[in-house]
Chain A
Amino acid sequence: AQSVSQHNHHVILSEAASLELGCNYSYGGTVNLFWYVQYPGQHLQLLLKYFSGDPLVKGIKGFEAEFIKSKFSFNLRKPSVQWSDTAEYFCAVKQGNVPPSGGGADGLTFGKGTHLIIQP
């Protein structure tokens, strides 16, 4: 079964600091990659996604992520964080080109999340 690892469970930064959240996955085939964010009291929202093409993808609110296939990584970055970026961040992976098996777990596999706190 595939797994997703997020290296930092809690990150505390000051406003204007740069951010990088690590994400590594275990599946060696074609993958669809996502970063979701959960702001306090709100539901999961998509930050950005990678399906194919340019491995550097840009998302909402100034976030970007780079897919490095050789490292099985999809790290999230933001050059200058704001207080409003305080939230829980989840990396998620879905196997691509896998026909629905009816028996396997072919949904999104999530990392455990990174709780990001931005201090004003």
Chain B
Amino acid sequence: KAGVTQTPRYLIKTRGQQVTLSCSPISGHRSVSWYQQTPGQGLQFLFEYFSETQRNKGNFPGRFSGRQFSNSRSEMNVSTLELGDSALYLCASSRLGGVAPETQYFGPGTRLLVL
């Protein structure tokens, strides 16, 4: 079974621009979560999508948004990029998410550099 895939793997943008990252979950997984990984803050939860609806959201500004499609693929968008948005963005999928005690499986991440 193929794992979680993320595209692109690397991205360079300049301040003020916007960016869209894509994530394809493991086949059959309906929950997709996004995390930001930085050296200073570590891994932080951004949001979770299930059945095309945002179910949970972390403590990030509204510039960070996402969506999920009917095939469970998800996109994350960051508008008006700031230097501090430079990070590794990780996508994780699980079958049900939410209250279900289950494992999240992570993709390789998209490394974003904002100049």
Contact = CB atoms under 8 A, between A and B. Distances in A.
- A and B held together in a complex: yes
Interface of A: 32, 34, 36, 42-46, 49, 51-52, 90, 92, 94, 96-113
A100 B56 contact: yes
Contacts of B54: 102
Contacts of A105: 45, 56-59
Contacts of B57: 102-105
B105 to A, nearest CB: 7
B90 A44 contact: yes
Q: On chain B, which size bracket covers the interface? A: 20 to 34
Contact of A107 (B35, B106, B107, B109): B35
Contacts of B108: 42-43
A32 B48 CA distance: 17
B61 interface: no
B97 to A, nearest CB: 8
Given A100-B56, A105-B59, A51 B105 contact: no
Contacts of A103: 56-57
15 contacts: A43-B90, A44-B92, A97-B99, A99-B98, A100-B48, A100-B55, A100-B98, A101-B56, A102-B57, A104-B57, A105-B45, A105-B59, A107-B48, A107-B56, A111-B42
Interface in B59-114: 59, 90, 92, 97-99, 101, 103-109
